[in-house]
Structure 1
Amino acid sequence: MTDVHSAQRVGVLADSQNLYHTAQSLYSRNIDYSALLEEAVRDRSLVRAIAYVIRADSPEEESFFEALRDIGFETKIKDIKTFADGSKKADWDVGMSLDAVTLANHIDTMVLVTGDGDFARLCSHLRHAGVRVEAMGFANSTADELVNAADEFVDLSEREDRYLL
């Protein structure tokens, strides 16, 4: 696979729900998306950055969505679904995967910001298509399959002072 170089075109897909829950459960802190995007791009050429978020009708979420856009993320928002039994569900796995496959012809490197092992198969697909895949997440909550499937893994917990607010 290719090394990191300044001419690389980069796509960044951030699984905001996964990041939020991990940062809250491990550190009771929030993610610094500005630092995250800076690290993901690393002086390369950003083609597209998308943050996948869930609307749960909490008062501060609209300002969070706006802050993401100000940083440089496009936001894709999905409403949380509540089922008859009271359980709730919302995830972006399929949407993120489809966007990654669609972007593959326009980028050299895909950065997946998630700890979700379900994306390991996507990594294999992208690498087969000639795309370098980097994953960013907190090591103790990132699936081994994802770490192993990516060309590079950035452990956010090694620099929590940088990536957490």
Structure 2
Amino acid sequence: MTEIHPGQRVAVLADAQNLYHTAQSLYSRNIDYSSLLEKCVSDRALTRAIAYVVRADSPDEERFFEALEDIGFETKIKDIKTFGDGSKKADWDVGMALDAVTLANHVDTVVLCTGDGDFSRLCSHLRHEGVRVEVMAFKESTAEELIAEADSFLDMSERTETFLL
């Protein structure tokens, strides 16, 4: 595992859908992505910040995507798919995992901003490759296996004044 040090290269991968839905269901508030990015980087060298978002044709979403870019996130946008039965789906699990694996040779730390337990195996893989893995999410909706596989976990629920608008 890579220890924290000045000049450490950090990649931040933010699962915007996961964060949004949790912040809305728990607090009826939105994420402060500027504070999130600042805390993720913490005096280290930011190599890449990616926010994975879904286009659902809702009002103001383009403005939200632009705001993320102004803050310093690269946005990766996926259109929501509607199926014949009316169900909808759009997730970035595979895209986030591929980006994390690709970035692993270029960074010391990957910060995953998600509570999705599907990323627990990714954490163990990255750690095996010598990459430090930090997870930032709301503990109430974070899978225990994800917390267990990360080098560190920051519970955003303990700092709502920092992470919520």
Q: Same fold (TM over 0.5)?
A: yes
Q: How does 1:109-120 map to 2 (within 5 A)?
A: 109-120=109-120
Give the aligned residue type for 2:77. I
Q: How does 1:21-40 map to 2 (within 5 A)?
A: 21-40=21-40
Q: Return the alpha-carbon distance in structure 1 between the equivalents of residues 2 and 47 of structure 2.
A: 18
Q: Deviations over 1:124-162 (max 9, x none)?
A: 000001000000000111000000000000110111001
Q: Return the alpha-carbon distance in structure 1 between the equivalents of residues 25 and 63 of structure 2.
A: 22
Q: Return the alpha-carbon distance in structure 2 between the equivalents of residues 31 and 3 of structure 1.
A: 28
- RMSD value, Cα: 0.5
Q: Return the alpha-carbon distance in structure 1 between the equivalents of residues 2 and 130 of structure 2.
A: 9
Q: Return the alpha-carbon distance in structure 2 between the equivalents of residues 7 and 89 of structure 1.
A: 39
Q: How does 1:2-17 map to 2 (within 5 A)?
A: 2-17=2-17
Give the aligned residue type for 1:162. T
Q: Return the alpha-carbon distance in structure 2 between the equivalents of residues 7 and 15 of structure 1.
A: 25
2:98 is matched with which residue? 98
List, as ranges, runs of 4+ consecutive aligned residues in structure 1 with deviation greater than 3 Å: none
Q: Offset of 1:5 from its aligned partner?
A: 1.3
User: Normalised by the size of structure 2, how large is the TM-score?
Assistant: 0.99
2:58 is matched with which residue? 58
Q: Offset of 1:4 from its aligned partner?
A: 1.4
Q: Deviations over 1:20-78 (max 9, x none)?
A: 00000000000000000000000000000000000000111000000000000000000
- Runs of 5+ consecutive residues of structure 1 not aligned to the other structure: none
Q: Return the alpha-carbon distance in structure 2 between the equivalents of residues 15 and 96 of structure 1.
A: 8
Q: Return the alpha-carbon distance in structure 1 between the equivalents of residues 159 and 5 of structure 2.
A: 23
User: Normalised by the size of structure 1, how large is the TM-score?
Assistant: 0.99
1:80 is matched with which residue? 80
The size of the alignment, in residue pairs, is 165
Q: Offset of 1:3 from its aligned partner?
A: 2.3
Identity of aligned residues (%): 77
Q: Return the alpha-carbon distance in structure 2 between the equivalents of residues 105 and 3 of structure 1.
A: 16
